[in-house]
Structure 1
């Protein structure tokens, strides 16, 4: 069994050294940068515990590339708030994990794919953070979760993960490509370890204008006993089940039975705006990415391709973007043009408002929503992902896109296996109902035995 945070803390100074040795021997493409000289405080809730970060979270004096050639060699002069909080808590920031370029779904990393620790012929998802936990390198990882980057990777690798309410964790220092959709989340060996890390990194930050006031108590709703979810009303949007493979659907149906045994009442219903969620997510993210990524031009940071004049230098430097990122930027520019803005971007923003309103209405009847996290288990390396993750303009599912559009808290927990590959269950809560989501995830985890990790690589 992979060690949790408590076990790593008990190992003392040896914990980080052992993790480094394992990471150096790894050939799975999980890490982009390894911090061999990382240090920790002697006290704190994460004292001596190695923690990984996705490579789009700024870390002072550590190369941060967003898995893109256009950022190669960029060393931030400051750290993001999440990084500062982890270091103050005593964590050892062991390295930066691989990811889809800038977190764009379907975009290839400039450093190659992440291999799944359970089966190296399979993908570990668009982020290496979950793979780092599943392989036993670290007990927890902090990662960007644009478009389900973290949640889907956790589903593929069989780790629990959590994306908090939008604004619960400061995005200061996060190099995001879509400002209104991206949020920092956590994956770990267990839900309780997720809570430990969330307690460290969440809270208000005056440097982030989207930051929520105050700090949440993530463990406030966790209950013990045979019926910890007694009286909880759980909704199952029928539209979130469309396109899910038969094998994953079987694990989901078995999970529904588990929730009912825990005391929850589960009911299917129709979420009318679900059919628009993927398209709205894709259009808004494309529009925002064209603005967010415009600053990468070789004039301020990152590599510069020299040329005879300024315009040619910009063009040659921006050619360092991967093909998917390039197409996303060009599509976003097109949709923001005067002749297209009202038909695409503005219409999507209006539809987003309708999606938010329907979620608000739904959460008056239900406490939580559940669905499969990904439509299928981890795909083969080089093959197309279930749900179309190799199609650059398609997010994994309406369930993933909907939680992002509404800024809702969402967790994924392992809910079964298809062969030796894990499937994931997503739990979505109302705005700032993070404690409800964590409580349901913890209850499900305690009632099942699906968090089984392979031996550390």
Structure 2
């Protein structure tokens, strides 16, 4: 199913045509818009088709965020990641499907993403991982607020990486939560992720959150029988709560692999873990109400005509899906004068405690590991693992915590339940992206799950 960058490069000029043919044939709902542009002709990604989630601005290509309220919006500019990829010779093959504005629990206006391994199951909240798993593209770029990318990769069995907050410019990203969202990469292998990261990471003066220095990804890979010798890995007990028995078995097998690679794995406890998901949801709710307020028919997307301005705003905003509407209303409530101190400010203060505890833990441990999602991919139309039926912003404390602290995290397939993959999440300290990449590369080589159909 999956094909890496080398396989697409080997196809040469036929790579794009083969990618377009597969997208058309598969009927997985992975793409909203299919482009199929031309390669710049040179660079490390020459003629390689790459996909982008539909909330990353692309010049002259419709960008909808999977929402009816953005239908017809064609950005007059491209995001930095798009420019970087095109300079490297990549071909923008299309814009992948996603939950509306990236809110977990929200339905895409273009239908669900089907899982390439079993079309009766969900491919996750983003079509990016499903497109990679199906072999439609070797890699895809996607925003990752609330685990949008990581959980999709876990469901579909691809590798995914979210770097430290600020490592990739968000110029051109249409995010719904400014302090939590970060662009990430999903691909068949960790080495392909590293190739993409070396291209798209680095400082950007147009993004005030952009880190001043570019991190080294490819130069940190280690070789040898025990590449993780000396690594201390913590396993937060709270990150294992409510994980299904089948997924827990694959995780326990993963722990054994890390130990064979030379790491020392130890169960630990995080005092702030129980607050991570509710704090994430409150902050995301407050920020989303502010970020989404600009979609009113006067500047972006379609306008529903009416007799007066107030009626026009009301009818236009009715184009939002029901989950997005409720999230905006929740956010407005949380930011009201009578609620602001009790909810939003308390959450921001608790977020500081979460960050402080992570900093303390990473003084002793090099990495933390946990299951990426609590279950394997659920049935189409059913609730997502971790509570999409409750319209939560994140799938677990592990995912919410990494977002709150801006930590780097990778997801890798770690086993199968039947023919459905499960994922292990590797979390590093802030700006310790290299540790995550080293561990991910070592785990991938040791298990051989990168191109497995099932075990």
Is the pair's TM-score, using the shorter chain for normalization, greater than 0.5? Answer: yes
Conservation of the 8 A alpha-carbon contact between 2:113 and 2:122:
yes
2:284 aligned partner: 285
TM-superposed deviation, 1:394: 4.6
Q: Tell me the alpha carbon deviations over residues 210-259 of structure 1, each in whole angstroms, 9 at most, x when there is no partner.
A: 00011111133321111000000000000000010000000000100000
The count of corresponding residues between Structure 1 and Structure 2 is 454
2:213 aligned partner: 214
2:414 aligned partner: 415
SS of the residue corresponding to residue 382 of structure 2 reads coil
TM-superposed deviation, 1:453: 5.2
2:25 aligned partner: 25
1:439 aligned partner: 438
RMSD: 1.0
1:254 is the counterpart of 2:253: yes
SS of the residue corresponding to residue 412 of structure 2 reads strand
Conservation of the 8 A alpha-carbon contact between 1:105 and 1:390:
no
Q: Tell me the alpha carbon deviations over residues 8-47 of structure 1, each in whole angstroms, 9 at most, x when there is no partner.
A: 11211100111011112231110000003x0111110100
Conservation of the 8 A alpha-carbon contact between 1:107 and 1:390:
no
TM-superposed deviation, 1:454: 5.3
Report the Cα distance in structure 2 between the residues aligned to 1:413 and 1:17, rounded to whole angstroms. 29
1:192 aligned partner: 191
TM-score between both structures, scaled by the size of structure 1: 0.98
Report the Cα distance in structure 1 between the residues aligned to 2:334 and 2:273, rounded to whole angstroms. 22
Change in 2 beyond 3 A, CA 1:197/1:394: closer
1:42 is the counterpart of 2:20: no
Moved over 2 A (4+): 451-455
Report the Cα distance in structure 2 between the residues aligned to 1:278 and 1:2, rounded to whole angstroms. 33
SS of the residue corresponding to residue 341 of structure 2 reads coil
Report the Cα distance in structure 1 between the residues aligned to 2:312 and 2:174, rounded to whole angstroms. 23
Q: Which structure 1 segments of 5+ residues have no match?
A: none
1:95 aligned partner: 94
1:334 aligned partner: 333
Conservation of the 8 A alpha-carbon contact between 2:236 and 2:267:
yes
Report the Cα distance in structure 2 between the residues aligned to 1:2 and 1:407, rounded to whole angstroms. 29
Report the Cα distance in structure 2 between the residues aligned to 1:26 and 1:454, rounded to whole angstroms. 17
Conservation of the 8 A alpha-carbon contact between 1:117 and 1:454:
no
1:4 aligned partner: 4
SS of the residue corresponding to residue 342 of structure 2 reads coil
TM-superposed deviation, 1:301: 1.6
TM-superposed deviation, 1:441: 0.3
1:15 aligned partner: 15
2:171 aligned partner: 172
- Within 5 Å, give how 1:384-423 maps onto structure 2: 384-423=383-422
Report the Cα distance in structure 2 between the residues aligned to 1:375 and 1:66, rounded to whole angstroms. 26
Report the Cα distance in structure 1 between the residues aligned to 2:182 and 2:57, rounded to whole angstroms. 14
2:153 aligned partner: 154
Q: Tell me the alpha carbon deviations over residues 297-325 of structure 1, each in whole angstroms, 9 at most, x when there is no partner.
A: 00012000000000100000000000000
Conservation of the 8 A alpha-carbon contact between 2:195 and 2:218:
no
Q: Tell me the alpha carbon deviations over residues 71-120 of structure 1, each in whole angstroms, 9 at most, x when there is no partner.
A: 00100000000000000000000000000000001100000100000000
Conservation of the 8 A alpha-carbon contact between 2:146 and 2:393:
no
